Amino acid sequence: MSTARTADLWWKNAVFYCLDAETFRDSDGDGAGDLVGLTERIDYLAGLGITCLWLMPFYPSPNRDDGYDITDYYGVDDRLGTLGDFVALVRTAKDRGLRVIIDLVINHTSDQHPWFRTARRSANSRFRDYYVWQDEPQDEPDAEVVFPDAEDSIWSWDEQAQQWYLHHFYGHQPDLNIASPAVREEMAKIAGFWLELGVDGFRVDAVPYLLETGGIDGELQLDPHSYLKDLRSFIARRRGDAVLLGEVNLPTDELVAYFGDEQADEIQMLFAFPLMQQLYLSLARQDARPLAAAVRELPEVSEQSQWAIFVRNHDELTLDKLSDDEREEVFAAFGPDESMQLFGRGLRRRLPPMLDGDQQRLRLVYSLMFSLPGSPVLFYGEEIGMGENLDIEGRLSVRTPMQWTDGKNAGFSDARPSRLRRPVTEGQFGPLAVNVSDQERDPDSLLNWMQRLIRRRRETPEFGWGAWQLLDTGDDAVLGHQCDWEGRRVLALHNLSSSPRELRVAVPDTGASEVVDLLGSDGKALELENGRLELKLEGYGYRWLRVRPSTA
């Protein structure tokens, strides 16, 4: 593999960091974070070692779904700044070696978008066909509402239009009709616009819903994947190394189709939702087998495809692919109180409170996240161990202001606390105990540990590029896997139980005689005898090891 190609396929060994400018840093004291505030903190992110920022929606929006309800795809919402601020942000990020991807929300608009306002007013308007209308909603037995707390059908009656319109999400988010060539043209223009402004790709929102054409009239039926191919080839023409990172929460065997034919012509990166859900089951049981099964099932990727590995994101921690009993086990372990659960399928908590703040176990989980096959995606605040605020409604509980200091408003804003758009987290995981400033000074802090982990991960491309294989650890509580790439091999061992383990790990096909610890502080080599590695792991212990070729 030439270094030129590894640079082009940068997402194979990238570390992503997702944030919403609104909750990161408020530069003008109005109580909401903004693009200028974020730009001022780019050095913090570069110092942490992440390589690509994923910006959650910043477009003009009535903000009824935290910006995922867009009224203008070409702008920046006033509360966050201006288009000029956006360009300055991208320029600054590039200067510090960071890439930037942004959310592309093409499944729906806000009902306040001028397209929808015009469409509902007149059946003759050219915008009518931008959305999906029916005189009588078709029966779609499989179609489930995404937010069952707010909606009971994917169809809503519109008084003005005197027709029903389709919306998989909230009623105020009408679905776009992607079978319409005009809508496709609009979306290409939008993607092209932001590429010209320097973004490196897009996190594509709600992909499977976008392709659900059940409600679209017969004449307009299309091969759903053909749209993704169109979009991808348009983007590739504009910018060869732009990435698409797709939100596709489907069972593993259905996921892989979204990489496209030969895994080459649709989305390059997909979130590993099924793997993430099995990881929580394994954590709850202190048993590595569910996770091992998920790793075994994870389809191999092509040279350009990649899994996005995450443990938390901005939404509920969805456990929808687990059986009811399994989900109950995870609820019992990590969110027993009903107030911690959402939609009957997920948890609205961050990881540290779920693990009762156990630092060793927390690090075990991030060590897994950074070594499982793929590229890791962090959600802001994970690097310092922020918690959630359950007093905030629904999914917003995990989207509290970034905790910079132990001072006023966690150093997020100079506004009067009552003016903050969202309150700061309080208690054990609040800013008095968890903040950047304190952790920067403490060599043993999670922040400094995470920074070292990120550096090591970037230096270990085998995890991103390599062919993976499970190892026989002889212990159900311990996940072992290896990644091979370009004649190099790394091993990773993770003890999901709280008790120490003595292991004899079988390392296949190696003429090597020793392995070197990549994370520990002493860097001592361990002997590999006849393909067997003997070692101890403490409770929730983890190791990354590089196999050193035999010199004999």
Q: Tokens in use for 234? A: 């348009």
Show contacts with ligand NOJ in window 186-205 (CB under 6 A): 205
Beta bridge partner(s), residue 329: none
Q: How far is the CB of 195 from ligand NOJ (least distance, A)?
A: 21
Angle at 221 between CA 215 and CA 222, to 5 degrees: 120
Q: Which of 127, 155, 164, 169 binds ligand NOJ (CB under 6 A)?
A: 169
d(CA 47, CA 38): 14
Q: How far is the CB of 249 from ligand NOJ (least distance, A)?
A: 9
d(CA 484, CA 342): 40
What is each CA distance from 279 to 110, 252, 462, in whole angstroms? Answer: 35, 14, 21
Our answer to whether residue 200 is catalytic in this structure is no
Q: Which of 20, 65, 383, 462 binds ligand NOJ (CB under 6 A)?
A: 65
Our CB check for ligand NOJ shows the closer of 115 and 463 to be 115
Using rule CB under 6 A, residue 326 touches ligand NOJ? no
Our CB check for ligand NOJ shows the closer of 65 and 383 to be 65
Q: How far is the CB of 206 from ligand NOJ (least distance, A)?
A: 4
Q: How far is the CB of 367 from ligand NOJ (least distance, A)?
A: 26
d(CA 98, CA 92): 9
Among 306, 393, 475, 357, which residue's Cα sits nearest to residue 298? 306
CA 292 centroid distance within chain? 21
Our CB check for ligand NOJ shows the closer of 247 and 475 to be 247
Show contacts with ligand NOJ in window 471-510 (CB under 6 A): none
> What letter represents residue 70's amino acid?
I
Q: Which of 26, 77, 315, 383 binds ligand NOJ (CB under 6 A)?
A: 315
Q: How far is the CB of 385 from ligand NOJ (least distance, A)?
A: 23
State the binding string over 104-143 for ligand NOJ (x if CB under 6 A, else -). Answer: -x--------------------------------------
What is each CA distance from 31 to 218, 411, 416, in whole angstroms? Answer: 49, 11, 8
Q: How far is the CB of 105 from ligand NOJ (least distance, A)?
A: 6
Q: Residue with CB nearest ligand NOJ? A: 68
State the binding string over 205-244 for ligand NOJ (x if CB under 6 A, else -). Answer: xx--------------------------------------
Catalytic residue among 175, 205, 212, 388, which?
205
Our CB check for ligand NOJ shows the closer of 277 and 439 to be 277
231: left (phi over 0), alpha (psi -120 to 50) or beta: alpha
Supply the angle between the helices 446-458 and 359-371 in degrees, to the nearest 10. Answer: 20
CA 204 centroid distance within chain? 11
Using rule CB under 6 A, residue 462 touches ligand NOJ? no
Q: Kind of pairing, strands 16-19 and 52-55? A: parallel
* Cβ-based neighbour number of residue 42 at 10 Å: 19
Show contacts with ligand NOJ in window 90-109 (CB under 6 A): 105
Our CB check for ligand NOJ shows the closer of 206 and 340 to be 206
Total residues contacting ligand NOJ by CB under 6 A comes to 9
d(CA 337, CA 344): 12
Beta bridge partner(s), residue 176: 131
Q: How far is the CB of 26 from ligand NOJ (least distance, A)?
A: 22
Burial class, 444, CB count within 10 angstroms (exposed 0-12 / middle 13-18 / buried 19+)? exposed
Among 287, 274, 290, 350, which residue's Cα sits nearest to residue 317? 350
Q: Please list, in sequence order, all residues whose beta carbon lies within 8 angstroms of the beta carbon of residue 497, skipping any fewer than 6 positions away.
A: 286, 287, 477, 478, 539, 540
Q: How far is the CB of 66 from ligand NOJ (least distance, A)?
A: 6
Beta strands (DSSP E) in 201-344 are 201-204, 243-246, 269-271, 306-309, 317-318, 341-342
Using rule CB under 6 A, residue 68 touches ligand NOJ? yes
* Cβ-based neighbour number of residue 84 at 10 Å: 10
Q: How far is the CB of 205 from ligand NOJ (least distance, A)?
A: 5
Our CB check for ligand NOJ shows the closer of 9 and 18 to be 18
Q: How far is the CB of 247 from ligand NOJ (least distance, A)?
A: 6
CA 261 centroid distance within chain? 24
Burial class, 136, CB count within 10 angstroms (exposed 0-12 / middle 13-18 / buried 19+)? exposed
Catalytic residue among 103, 200, 247, 266, which?
247
Our CB check for ligand NOJ shows the closer of 80 and 518 to be 80
Q: Tokens in use for 266? A: 């649709």
Our CB check for ligand NOJ shows the closer of 33 and 290 to be 33
Our CB check for ligand NOJ shows the closer of 212 and 247 to be 247
d(CA 228, CA 236): 12
Our CB check for ligand NOJ shows the closer of 321 and 361 to be 321
Our answer to whether residue 205 is catalytic in this structure is yes
d(CA 56, CA 102): 6
List, by residue number, the catalytic residues.
205, 247
Q: In the complex, which residues of this chain contact ligand NOJ (CB under 6 A)?
A: 65, 68, 105, 169, 205-206, 247, 314-315
